[in-house]
Amino acid sequence: MVEKENEADVILGCLDTVSGEYEMKQAQSLKLGLLRRFKSEDDVEKYVGQHISNASIRTNEIEKAFKSNDFDRVIQLSEDGIKFDRKDKPGLVKDWYNWLLKVAQAQRHTQKIIEYARLLFIDNFYPQQDYYQILKDHIDAENWGAFLEEIITETSAIKRWGYLDLIRQIYIKEEWWERLFVMLKLNPSMEKIEQNEEYLAKEYTPELIGLYSERILDYIAGSVGRSHYRTACKYLCRMMKLGGNQEVNALIEFFRKQYPQRKALIDELNQI
């Protein structure tokens, strides 16, 4: 534990010799802590200005400014962070946009809230807030449907990572079951059928059973080994839970005749 300024000076000197990007960032944060304890406010401000590209230091400064309602500084630091990190650190860019959203919320600036929440909703990776609900709370009901359609059109055109899951979440939240089913039919893997069961089973039970049947047939045809057979049987059981006993029995009979040499498959089928 450092208690005296001369001790701090020794450590500060040592921290200046650290190499390696990650280690340097850590050393800079430690040095700032010592400067706050033992040096003048001018020294601290100067150091912060010189090392504001350090995400930890920037975040700390933003948090301090936000707590003191210095929203102009929060905006400045966040916007500078967006410019600095846009090329190489997209995760940090989202952090800075989240701070801009928090300021807009604190100031009740509806237009800015919608702007930032929309951006963060589209880039919805590790969300810090429920951006969908924020948007719904701030957009007039008569404009809500058109707003969502615009997002769907935009994300479908760009095809960025995760866009299909974003559209799927919109369909689920809005209970647009027909569109969700159409989306599922375009890529009906067994896993995706299972993921959508709880939303579609009420209105599309026969269709789900049919999709499962097609996928399981293809899966068994192209996969060999007990682990694969257990996977197929798991989805046969899901078909049965949907009421597809007749279809499951037909598949089991087909597999017995088609693959009599696959003893492990027959063994797993016998356990259903």
- Domains of the chain, by residue range, sit at 1-51, 59-174, 199-272
Is residue 89's pLDDT more than 60? yes
Would you say 167 and 155 are in contact if contact means Cβ atoms under 8 Å apart? Answer: yes
Is residue 4's pLDDT more than 60? no
HSE-CB for 161 with a 13 A CA cutoff: 3
Residue type, 32: L
Burial of 40 (0-12, 13-18, 19+ CB in 10 A): exposed
Band the pLDDT of 143: cuts 50, 70, 90: very high
pLDDT of residue 48: 72
Mean pLDDT of 249-265: 97
Q: What distance in Å separates the CA atoms of residue 223 and residue 234, rounded to the nearest whole number?
A: 15
pLDDT of residue 121: 96
For residue range 18-49, what is the model confidence (pLDDT) as tens digits? 455 656 666 666 666 666 665 557 666 777 77
pLDDT of residue 9: 47
For residue range 185-232, what is the model confidence (pLDDT) as tens digits? 999 999 999 999 999 999 999 999 999 999 999 999 999 999 999 999
Q: Say which residue, 12 or 93, is predicted with more confidence.
A: 93
Average pLDDT of the chain, as a whole number? 89
Question: Which of 49-53, 74-78, 168-172 has the weakest average pLDDT?
Answer: 49-53
pLDDT of residue 208: 98
pLDDT of residue 7: 44
pLDDT of residue 35: 64
Q: Say which residue, 44 or 72, is predicted with more confidence.
A: 72
State percent of the chain over pLDDT 70: 84
Quickly count: other Cβ atoms within 10 Å of residue 127's Cβ. Answer: 13
pLDDT of residue 124: 78
pLDDT of residue 137: 98
Enumerate the H helices of the chain as residue ranges: 5-15, 21-38, 41-50, 55-67, 71-85, 90-107, 110-122, 131-138, 141-158, 163-174, 177-186, 190-222, 226-241, 245-258, 263-270
pLDDT of residue 88: 86
Mean pLDDT of 134-146: 98
| DSSP state for residue 225 in the 8-state scheme | S
Q: What distance in Å separates the CA atoms of residue 185 and residue 208, rounded to the nearest whole number?
A: 9
Band the pLDDT of 130: cuts 50, 70, 90: very high
Q: Say what the pTM is.
A: 0.81
